[in-house]
Amino acid sequence: MQKVLLIAGARPNFMKVAPIWAEMQRRPSEFAPVIVHTGQHYDAAMSDAFFDDLGLPKPDIHLGVGSGSHAVQTARIMTAFEPIVLEQKPDWVVVVGDVNSTIACALVCAKLGVKVAHVEAGLRSRDRTMPEEINRILTDAISDLLFTTSQDADENLMQEGVSDDKIRFVGNVMIDSLQAHLEIAERSKVRIDLGVEGSDYAVLTLHRPSNVDDRTTLAGIIDALIAISEKLPIIFPVHPRTRAKIDEFGFDKNIAASGLRLIDPLGYIDFLRLYSGAKLVLTDSGGLQEETTVLGIACLTLRHNTERPITIELGTNVLVGTDPDKIKQAASDALSKPTTKTNIPPLWDGKAAGRICNELIRS
């Protein structure tokens, strides 16, 4: 029997932890999972809604760290997590993704000599101004087992000198969640409530500090979006960081007069229902690049790089950057030609959690 601490900290972690927890529940003679929520995200819309939608129980342990600068948040998570590891004595700690909770918990384990496995290892944007890139590099350097979603990630790790006996190409656990909830999402009324059922619309997410914290960059992106929204409405569930910046910069009036519709953040099921019906997705998120690839929905990534190149090689993703003219042109191109059928990357098959659990037992 393996006691495993599953670390959930921020919104993009929850859909990665859920299938692993569910798989462990199905194998009670092999696993005793304990969900640890760091509290990095704490609003009901950013956290509880996801636990409910994904069928996760209330976290067994909640560290309640909240927001702060990178150093403060990371340090608070480490300080709160260390006694938990000492008390729980897990066989494995599983961290997912690339948020501050990921590196903080991995570092605690590495120092205590407790085995840590990183799910979604090896992704690299090669942009060290992204806080997530630092978290990825460091977490991979100190983890005992590295679960990858694509073979380019394996290559990245080996180029960094990671021994290949630590690397396991298991596929994409986030797609386990996507597949498990597609049918359930059909019951969501979100498209009807927003008045877009049966019509063309786009969906936008935007929250990267590099896009939203700088006034000029955000102004340019919003101008482009307002222009695109003259062709079709853009539904924009707004991340709290972005909402604060829009208010601070006084962009709300221009937006209100346009087809760019700001709404509160959505839970997992409603958001899945919304983007799965979109003609076009515009985003700076990592996960959405993968989800749109699997569903064959055109995706424009408003960033200069991606750690997920397979979504461009095999999928629907186009890297557009943040230049307003380029965003408008790319949207116009995407809307004028139907999305060609794309390939689903290898092992993005809904069975990644099973492979992860098998490897945890074997290693």
Q: Which residues are catalytic?
A: 207
Minimum distance of ligand UD1 from residue 338's CB (angstroms)? 30
Segment interacting with ligand UD1, rule: CB under 6 A, options 169-177, 237-245, 251-259, 316-324: 237-245
Q: Reduced to 3 states, what is the DSSP secondary structure of residue 143?
A: coil
Nearer to ligand UD1, 131 or 220 (CB): 131
Q: Reduced to 3 states, what is the DSSP secondary structure of residue 241?
A: helix
Segment interacting with ligand UD1, rule: CB under 6 A, options 15-23, 98-106, 150-158, 317-325: 98-106
Nearer to ligand UD1, 76 or 239 (CB): 239
Out of 2, 22, 46, 112, the residue judged to bind ligand UD1 by CB under 6 A: 46
Residues 42 and 353: their CA atoms lie apart, in Å, by 26
99 scored as a contact of ligand UD1 (CB under 6 A): yes
Contacts of residue 270, defined as CB under 8 A and 6 or more positions apart, other chains included, come to 185, 188, 190
What's the residue count for the chain?
A: 363
305 scored as a contact of ligand UD1 (CB under 6 A): no
Out of 23, 132, 270, 307, the residue judged to bind ligand UD1 by CB under 6 A: 132
Please return the burial class of 113, using the count of CB atoms within 10 Å of its CB with bins 0-12, 13-18 and 19+: exposed
42 DSSP 8-state letter: -
Segment interacting with ligand UD1, rule: CB under 6 A, options 8-16, 82-90, 295-303, 318-326: 8-16
Residue 298 structure tokens: 């055109």
Residue 75 structure tokens: 């340090």
Segment interacting with ligand UD1, rule: CB under 6 A, options 29-37, 148-156, 239-247, 295-303: 239-247
Contacts of residue 247, defined as CB under 8 A and 6 or more positions apart, other chains included, come to none
* Cα–Cα–Cα angle for 38, 177, 318, rounded to 5 degrees: 95
37 scored as a contact of ligand UD1 (CB under 6 A): no
218 scored as a contact of ligand UD1 (CB under 6 A): no
43 scored as a contact of ligand UD1 (CB under 6 A): yes
Nearer to ligand UD1, 76 or 115 (CB): 76
Residue 12 structure tokens: 């993009």
Please state whether beta strands 2-8 and 92-96 pair in parallel, antiparallel, or not at all (unpaired): parallel
Contacts to ligand UD1 by CB under 6 A: 10-12, 40-43, 46, 67, 98-100, 131-132, 207, 239-241
